[in-house]
A and B are shown apart, each in its own frame.
Chain A
Amino acid sequence: MLLQLRAIRKRFGGVAALSDGNLTVAPGEVHLLLGENGAGKSTLVKIVAGMVQRDAGEMLWQGRPARFERPADAAANGIAMVHQESLLAPHLSVAENIFLGREQRLPLGMVNRRRMREQAARLIEEHHFPLQPDWRVERLSPAGKQLVEICRAIQHGSSLLIFDEPTSSLSEAETREVFGIVRRLRQRNMGVIYITHRLEELREVGDRVTILRDGETVYGGPCGELSTDRIIHYMVGREVTAIYKRTPQPPGEELLRVEGLTRKPLVNQISFSLRAGEIVGLAGLVGAGRTELCRTLFGIEPAEAGRVRVGGREVRIRHPRDAVRAGLALIPEDRQRHGLTALLPLTYNLTSANLGAVSRFGVLRAAAERQASADYIGRLRIRAESGRQLAGRLSGGNQQKVVIAKWLFRQARVFLFDEPTRGIDVGAKVEVFELMDELARAGAAILMVSSELLELLQVADRIMVMRQGRLAAELPGGATQEQIMRCAALETESALSEEGN
Chain B
Amino acid sequence: MIQRLLPFLTLIVLFIALSFASPYFLTYTNLSSVVRQTAVINTMALGMTMIIIAGGIDLSVGAILAFSGLVGTMAMEAGLPIPYGVAVGLVAGLFWGTVNGLLATRLNIAPFIVTLGTLGIVRGITLIISNGLPVHKIPQQFSFLGEGNLLGVPFVLWMLVSCALLTHLILEHTRMGRYAFAIGSNPEAAFYTGIPVAFHTTAVYAYSGLLCGLAGMIEASRLMTGQPTAGQGYELQVIAAVVIGGGSLRGGEGSVIGTLIGAFIMGLLSNGSDLLGISPYLQQAIIGAVIILAVAVDELRKRKLG
Report the bound CA distance from A353 to B253 in whole Å: 21
**Which of A13, A324, A341 lies in contact with B189, CB distance below 8 A?**
A341
Interface contacts (Cβ under 8 Å), in number, total 75
Quote the shortest CB–CB distance from A382 to chain B (angstroms).
18
Measured between beta carbons, the chain B residues less than 8 angstroms from A356 are 175
What residue of chain B has the Cβ atom nearest to residue A353's Cβ? B193
Q: Inside 8 A of B182's CB, which chain A residues have their CB? A: 341, 344, 348, 352
A445 CA / B305 CA spacing, docked (Å): 41
Q: Is B190 an interface residue (CB 8 A)?
A: yes
Chain B residues with CB under 8 Å of A91's CB are none
Give the residue name and chain of the A residue nearest to B199 (CB): A321
Contact between A352 and B173 (Cβ–Cβ < 8 Å)?
Answer: no
A364: interface (CB < 8 Å)? yes
Asked, given contacts A337-B188, A338-B188, A341-B185, whether A364 binds B178 with beta carbons under 8 Å apart, the answer is: yes
Q: In the complex, how many angstroms separate the beta carbon of A359 from the nearest chain B beta carbon?
A: 6
Interface residues of A in 45-64 (CB under 8 A from B): none
Q: Cα distance A330–B252 when bound, in Å?
A: 23
Contact indicator B188/A321 (Cβ below 8 Å): no
Contact of B190 with A341 in the complex, beta carbons under 8 Å: yes
Contact partners of B185 in chain A: CB under 8 A: 341-344
Smallest beta-carbon distance A281→chain B, Å: 22
Contact with A along B173-184 (1 / 0, CB 8 A): 111101101100
A302 CB-CB contact with B under 8 Å: no
Tell me which residues from 333 to 389 in chain A have a Cβ below 8 Å from any Cβ of chain B: 337-344, 348, 352-353, 355-356, 359, 362-364, 366
Q: Which residue in B169, B178, B188, B252 is a CB contact (below 8 Å) of A352?
A: B178
Complex alpha-carbon distance, A280 and B196, angstroms: 30
Chain B nearest CB, measured from A9 CB (Å): 20
Q: How far is the CB of B145 from chain A (nearest CB, A)?
A: 29
Complex interface residues of chain B between 91 and 124 (CB less than 8 A to chain A): none
How many angstroms between the C-alpha atoms of A332 and B196 in the bound complex?
18
Let me know if B252 and A324 touch, CB within 8 A.
Answer: no
Find chain B residues with CB under 8 A from A352 CB: 178, 182, 190, 193, 195
Taken together as a complex, chains A and B put the C-alpha atoms of A235 and B174 apart, in Å, by 45
- In the complex, are the beta carbons of B174 and A363 less than 8 A apart? yes
**Contact among B186, B193, B304 for A343, CB-based, below 8 A:** B186
Residues 64-78 of A contacting B (Cβ, < 8 Å) = none
Which of B176, B181, B189 is close to A338, meaning CB atoms less than 8 Å apart? B189
Q: Is B20 an interface position by the 8 A CB rule? A: no
Chain A residue nearest in CB terms to B305? A13
Per a CB cutoff under 8 Å, which of A325, A330, A342, A406 touches B186? A342
**Which residues, 202 to 253 on B, are CB-close (under 8 Å) to A?**
252-253
Q: Which of B175, B190, B191, B252 contacts A364 (CB 8 A)?
A: B175
Q: Does A323 contact B (CB under 8 A)?
A: yes
Neighbouring B residues of A21 by C-beta, 8 Å: none
- Whole-angstrom distance between the alpha carbons of A338 and B190 in the complex? 8
A359 to B178, CA, bound (A): 11
Chain B residues positioned under 8 Å from A343 (CB to CB): 185-186, 252-253
A277 at interface (Cβ–Cβ under 8 A)? no
Inter-subunit contact B188/A406 (CB<8 Å):
no
Collect the chain B residues with CB atoms within 8 Å of residue A406's CB: 193
Q: What separation, in Å, do the CA atoms of A298 and B191 have in the docked complex?
A: 11
**Complex CA–CA separation, A406 to B194 (angstroms):** 12
- Let me know if A258 is at the binding interface, CB within 8 A: no
Q: Is the CB of B194 within 8 A of A366?
A: no
A469 is an interface residue with CB less than 8 A from chain B = no
Contact B174 A323 (CB under 8 A): no
The CA of A55 and the CA of B169, in the complex, are separated in Å by 46
Residue of B nearest to A339 (CB): B189
Cα of A300 to Cα of B195 in the assembled complex, Å: 12
Residue numbers of A with Cβ under 8 A of B are: 13, 298, 300, 319-321, 323-325, 330, 332, 337-344, 348, 352-353, 355-356, 359, 362-364, 366, 406
Q: Can you list 23 A-B contacts with CB-CB less than 8 angstroms, sorted by A residue number?
A: A13-B305, A300-B191, A320-B191, A320-B192, A320-B194, A321-B195, A324-B193, A324-B194, A332-B192, A338-B192, A339-B189, A339-B192, A341-B252, A344-B182, A344-B185, A348-B178, A352-B190, A356-B175, A359-B175, A362-B176, A363-B169, A363-B173, A363-B174
Q: Which 9 A-B pairs give the minimum distances between C-beta atoms?
A: A324-B194, A321-B194, A341-B186, A320-B194, A338-B192, A341-B185, A343-B185, A355-B175, A353-B193
Task: Name 4 extra pairs, CB < 8 A, besides A338-B189, A364-B174.
Answer: A300-B191, A324-B193, A343-B253, A348-B178
